Amino acid sequence: MENERKKVMLSGIKPSGDLTLGSYLGPLHHWPEMIEEYDCYYFMADLHAITVRQNPADLRRRTLEQLAQYIACGLDPEKCTLFIQSHVHQHAELGWVLNCYAMFGELSRMTQFKDKSAKNADNINGGLFTYPSLMAADILLYQPDFVPVGEDQKQHVELARNIVQRFNGVYGEVFRMPEPYIPKVGARIMSLTNPAAKMSKSDNGDTGRVTLMDDPSVIMKQFKRAITDSDTERCVRYDKENKPGVANLMTIYSSATGKSFDEIEKEFDGQGYGKFKPAVGEAVVEMLRPIQEEAKRIMADKAYLEGVYRAGAEKAEYIASKTLRKVYKKVGFLPR
């Protein structure tokens, strides 16, 4: 049917650091593919960024750069909704309401709260504890069918689903039940120097990260120093448990070239890591080159970027306001 509702997809990334290769090969690489099939909302999650202290000027700069990089990665603002989270006040308002429907035990079990509390022991603030409620608001405002997430974020979607079940159980069918959407390949890119940890965009101390806008010489240097394994056979073989560093590099190479793991193993059979690591670096450089060129071109046109985020916020607010009005009515707030 022509008037059949397109399924809704929504996701956002915090501008708390520079977008990395992991950001691109994880969510961003797959987002443009979804535009034709889904009604997509993608945002810069700046409200979430301030759970950790930010330099205000850097946060503003990264937010704008991230928007430019979104577009350079293939997110056409004519075909999807691109907006800045803090420009749509309904996120913060629904976040408070959902705080009252998220249980203390649920929030205290959030893995990222534990991790960030350990890293920011001098600033374990209330927002750091309750941000999953805001994340649930981010999701539920737009009544999405799917939320593309990495494995490490699946817990937050599960909390949102718990809140939907709890809220709808009291007030009826207010929120649509969202499903996590996890890409099969490249969903989680690990640090090049610590394959047990996710490649971080917020941790400047992560020497194993590659950012989207890194110079080719920096990218090549990072891959040449990447951790592989101590296996005496030094063969390129996918074994995530016993050869996590090699498996991570193979995942990156596969995502950059489209080659299967079997094809990669055959390509580097008998060549060792000395040939493999630079080849991965070169593939990444070539993959990122057009993105970098387009992002720089877009960043030079501030008026265009302002037009994009203003139009995006207007469209997002129209949808978000309908959900929030319904929620306010259900919980008993008087209309203005």
HEC letters along 132-185: HHHHHHHHHCCCCCEEECCHHHHHHHHHHHHHHHHHHHHHCCCCCCCEEECCCC
Kindly list the catalytic residues.
116, 198, 201
Distance of alpha carbon 99 from alpha carbon 109, whole angstroms: 15
Distance of alpha carbon 107 from alpha carbon 126, whole angstroms: 11
Mention every residue, 6+ apart, whose C-beta is less than 8 A from residue 179. Answer: 145, 146, 147, 157
What element of type H or E holds 39?
strand 39-44
- Work out the angle between the directed axes of helices 273-299 and 56-72 (0-180°, nearest 10): 100
Distance of alpha carbon 26 from alpha carbon 286, whole angstroms: 18
**3-state DSSP call for residue 115?**
helix
What element of type H or E holds 305?
helix 302-331
Distance of alpha carbon 212 from alpha carbon 256, whole angstroms: 13
